[in-house]
Structure 1
Amino acid sequence: MNQYEEEDLTPRSEEEAAEMERDFRAAIEKSQQSEKGWRFGLPGNEEQDARLERVFRTAAARRMVAARELREKEEKRIAELIQLPLFPYPEATRIVSNDMARSALFSATQGADRKTLKDTVLATIDGIEIIFTGEQLNQDDHDLLMQLVDFARHKPFGEEVTVPANVILSALGLEKGKSQHEQLKAGMKRLLTPLVTIRNTKKRLTYYGHIIEEAVQDEASRYWIYKLNAKMRLLYDKSSFSQIEWEGRRGLKRKDLARWLQAFYATHADPFPLSVEFLHRMSGSSAKELWKFRENLRKALDALVGINFLLAWEIDAKSDLVSVQRAGKQKDNQLSLPHISHHLNQSGKGTQ
C-alpha cells in the first residue's frame, strides 16, 4: 500500500488529478529556480530527485485533499441552507432580499418605459454588484416576486409550488379578468427569462441565474406550478432580508417610485440623508430631468407617510439631501446607520 492510499490522498476525479499535477509541477519549477537548497533535475542527483519528487507529490496531494474538504464543507453548508424553509415572519408582511432592494434591479419605471438590457451593470449601493441581461424589471415584478416567495414560505426553497392564478391576483390586489391573467403571464415570463448576477462583496457571495427556475400553467384550471431558483435562497438568509407591511404596499399601486423607496428604506433601520441625485440613479427612474424626479420624489415620500411607513421627511433646499424618519422599530437584519440630524416637521411632510 502506497502513502497516497494510507492517507487517502488518491484523486477522486480527473479534475483533482490535474489539479494535483499542476501543483506538483509548480513546486518542481520553483525548486529549479531556487538559489538555495536542493535544485531538482541536476545531473547525478537522480536518487535525491526521486526522494524530492515523492515529497512534492505528497505535499501536492495533501493540498488537493484539503481543497476538496473545504469545497465539500461549503457545499454541505449551502445544501443545508437551501433545504430550510424561509425564516419565519409575520403573515401580514412580505420579505425582500436586501441585495435586490438596495439596487435598480426592480426599477421605479412604468411598464411602457421598460428597456431590454444586455450585460448591464445596474446601480447598487457599495458592496453589491448586479449585472443584468433581459427585459427590465420594475415594481410590479417585485410585487409578484414577493408574493411568490410568500407562497413558498413553508417549503424548502426551490421546491415546487402550486397555486391558483386567481389567488395570486387577489394577493396582488388585482382583478381577475382576462387582461389581469395576461399581465400575470407576462410577469412570470419576466421573472423566468433574465440572467442575473448578484455579488455581495462583503459576504464574498455571488449568485448567477434566473429568479424563477421554471413555471407551468394548466390552462384549463389556471393553476400555476413554479419553482424559485434554489440557489437564490442564499439571498434570503435570515440576516439578508427585510420585511414590508403588505397592505400598505398594496395601497401604493401604480406608485412606482414610492414602492421602490419603501423597499429600499425597509432595509435601513435608521436611514441617513441621501442626495436626490443618488436616489434618482439608484431607483432606475425613467425621469430624465432631476427637477422632474425631485417633484415625483416629494409625491412618493408623501405617499409613504400616508401608509404610515414614514413618520416624516425633508429635502434640504441647499444640499438637496433627502432625510426620512422611519416608523416602527429597528430590526436586526436592517442596516444600522447614523441618526438623521435634519429637522423634520410634525405633519410628516417635508420641507418643500
Structure 2
Amino acid sequence: MHDESQPQLFTDAKNSCVPDSFEQILASLAARPKYLPEWPDGQRAMPNEILRSALFNCRNRNLSRVFMKEAEIAVIGDGQVIYRGEELRQDDELVWMHLMHLIKKIPLGECVEFTPYSFIKALGWPIKGQNYERLRTCLSRMQATALRIQSKRLQCFISISLIQKFMSKNDRDENLSRWQVWVGKEMQLLFDEEFLTRVAWETRRLLPDGIASKLFGYWASHRKPYPVKIETLLKLCGSGMKAKHFKAELKKALDLLKEVGFLEAWEFKNELVVVTRRY
C-alpha cells in the first residue's frame, strides 16, 4: 500500500507519464525551491487545476457531507481530478487558502504553527467556540484526503493529501495553544508560479460560501473569461441543484460579484453566461 501523502505515478493507455520513475519525480522535487512562490499579504493563491474543478463545491451547508471514494471530480478545461475523502466545500477552500498563505513562509515539509484565534480572525469568522471546532474539523477533513490530479503541464497523475499532518490536541486530549500543520514537499508540483491564480483575499473572505465564492475563484483564473454554458457552471459548482433553481441562484451570485466590484458586467446569451471582469 502506498502512502497517499506522497506523489505517485499513474499511467494508462490514453495518457502516459513523461517521467520514467518515481525516483525521477523525487529528484525533480529536490531540484526545486523548498518554498511555495511568493504573493502579497492582500492576496491568496490557488492552483488553476483546483479553481477550475468542483473539488471545493458549494452544496448547501445543511446537507450532510458524503464520503467520496475514487470519485472523478468535474473539471472545466484541461485535466482530470480523482478524489477520495469526505466531501469538501467552500469553507474548506477558504481554510486551505489561508493555510497555504502561512505555509509559504516556511520550507515545505516543516511544521507551521498558529493560534486558532489568529486563524479564525484572518478568515473573518466570528470568534466563538463553535468556529474553533469548525476550523479543527476542516483541517482534520483535509488531512484525510487523497487527491489525484492530471493535466498537460503536470504531464502525469500525481497523488497528494491536502494536509500531511495536523495537531490541535496533545496526547492527553488537551487543546494546544498553538496548532501545528505539515504540508508535504510535493505541493510544489501544484503551486507552480506559471499556473497559480492570485485572488484578492478581502473580497474572497467577505463573499458568502456558495456559488458567488466558487465562481469568483473560477473567473479569477482567467484574465479574459470566455462564455460558459450554464450547465457547465452547474457541474463546476457541484451544488446538486436542479437546473432551474441553479439558474435563479446564479443570477443572484452574478449580481453579488458585480456589487463587490469583481465583475464589470454579466449577461445570459441563450444558455451561455458572458462576464467581463473589472480587475
Secondary structure of the equivalent of 2:82?
A: strand
TM-score, structure 1 as length reference: 0.69
Is this contact kept in 1: 2:29–2:188, CA < 8 A?
Answer: no
Which of 166, 182, 186 is matched with 1:231 structurally? Answer: 186
How far, CA to CA, are the matches of 1:163 and 1:295 in structure 2? 40
Instruction: Letter of the 1:233 partner, please give it.
Output: Q
Which of 246, 250, 253 is matched with 1:297 structurally? Answer: 250
Long gaps (5+) in structure 2: 1-18
CA displacement, residues 200-233 of structure 1 (integer Å, 9 cap, x when unaligned): 1343132212100001114444311001132122
Which of 194, 200, 221 is matched with 1:267 structurally? Answer: 221
- Deviation of 1:74 after TM superposition, in Å, equals 5.0
- The question of 1:79 aligning with 2:34 is answered no
How far, CA to CA, are the matches of 2:22 and 2:252 in structure 1? 50
- Deviation of 1:164 after TM superposition, in Å, equals 0.5
Secondary structure of the equivalent of 2:187?
A: helix
Which of 240, 259, 269 is matched with 1:286 structurally? Answer: 240
Q: Which of the two has greater helix per residue?
A: 1
Query: Which stretch of structure 1 is more off in the superposition, 174-183 or 213-222?
Result: 213-222
Instruction: Letter of the 2:216 partner, please give it.
Output: Q
Partner of 2:132: 181
Is this contact kept in 1: 2:108–2:183, CA < 8 A?
Answer: yes
Partner of 2:52: 102
Compared with structure 1, are the counterparts of its residues 74 and 197 closer, same or farther at alpha carbon in structure 2 (3 Å cutoff)?
Answer: closer
- The question of 1:253 aligning with 2:205 is answered no
Which of 128, 135, 152 is matched with 1:201 structurally? Answer: 152
Instruction: Letter of the 1:300 partner, please give it.
Output: A
- Deviation of 1:84 after TM superposition, in Å, equals 2.9
Secondary structure of the equivalent of 1:297?
A: helix
Instruction: Letter of the 1:270 partner, please give it.
Output: K
- The question of 1:130 aligning with 2:85 is answered no
How far, CA to CA, are the matches of 2:236 and 2:96 in structure 1? 20
- Deviation of 1:132 after TM superposition, in Å, equals 1.1
Is this contact kept in 2: 1:158–1:230, CA < 8 A?
Answer: yes
Sequence identity (%): 29
**What count of residue pairs does the alignment treat as equivalent?**
256
Q: Which of the two has greater strand per residue?
A: 2
Secondary structure of the equivalent of 1:111?
A: coil
Is this contact kept in 1: 2:29–2:185, CA < 8 A?
Answer: no
By relative contact order (CA 8 Å, sep 6+), the higher-ranking structure is 2
Partner of 2:277: 326
Is this contact kept in 2: 1:109–1:284, CA < 8 A?
Answer: yes
CA displacement, residues 29-80 of structure 1 (integer Å, 9 cap, x when unaligned): xxxxxxxxxxxxxxxxxxxxxxxxxxxxxxxxxxxxxx99x97665332213
How far, CA to CA, are the matches of 1:277 and 1:283 in structure 2? 10
Compared with structure 1, are the counterparts of its residues 94 and 118 closer, same or farther at alpha carbon in structure 2 (3 Å cutoff)?
Answer: same
Compared with structure 1, are the counterparts of its residues 72 and 182 closer, same or farther at alpha carbon in structure 2 (3 Å cutoff)?
Answer: closer
TM-score, structure 2 as length reference: 0.86
Is this contact kept in 1: 2:143–2:165, CA < 8 A?
Answer: yes
- The question of 1:215 aligning with 2:170 is answered no
